[in-house]
Amino acid sequence: MIHFILAAALSLESAMTKEEQKETGVAKLNIQERAALRDWIEDHYTKKMVAQKSTAPILQEVLKGGRFVRLSDSSLWEIEPGDTPITQSWITPTEIKIGQSTDTQYPYTLTNHLTGSTVKARKAQKVTP
């Protein structure tokens, strides 16, 4: 739980400059308050696509507590269980770079352009419980 809260707080910080954090009051929030704010934003506001110059897909959804992610190219990815605390904190929309992993079970890497965090993943056909 601590990893999730810290990751959520860090993702909010990485999306805002220090000046924006001061102007909005985010700089005064503790880690749990930042995580709660990030969750509230995700729950109450419509996600929009960002204009991009790159052809890399955009993160559209984080599903099942970070166990799955869906990208703008309609691909669905199952995340390696040890990496779900990282994807739990990913905020949409953001560009995702797909690479190769040396792990035979999770042969791909997904890298969040905004945070620089990388997780291992494999393609999925559907979201499982």
In tens, the pLDDT along 65-85 reads 999 999 999 999 999 999 999
DSSP single-letter state for residue 51: P
Name 115's Cβ contacts closer than 8 Å, sequence gap at least 6.
Answer: 10, 11, 14, 89, 90, 94
Tally the residues of the chain: 129
Give the lowest-confidence range in 29-33, 81-85, 119-123.
Answer: 29-33
Q: How confident is the model at residue 41 (pLDDT cuts 50, 70, 90)?
A: confident
Q: Which DSSP state fits 59? A: E
Q: What is the model's pLDDT at position 13?
A: 63
43 has pLDDT over 90: no
Q: Are 88 and 38 in contact (CB under 8 A)?
A: no
Choice between 110 and 7, residue whose per-residue pLDDT is larger: 110
Q: Which pLDDT score, from 0 to 100, does residue 32 have?
A: 84
Average of per-residue pLDDT across 18-46: 80
Q: Which residue has the higher pLDDT, 37 or 42?
A: 37
Please name the amino acid found at residue 87.
Answer: T
Confidence of residue 1 (pLDDT cuts 50, 70, 90): very low
Alpha-helical segments (H) within 16-65? 18-24, 31-44
pLDDT score, position 114: 87
pLDDT category at 120 given cuts 50, 70, 90 is very high
Say if CB 77 and CB 69 are below 8 A apart.
yes
Q: CA 87, CA 90: separation in Å to the nearest integer?
A: 5
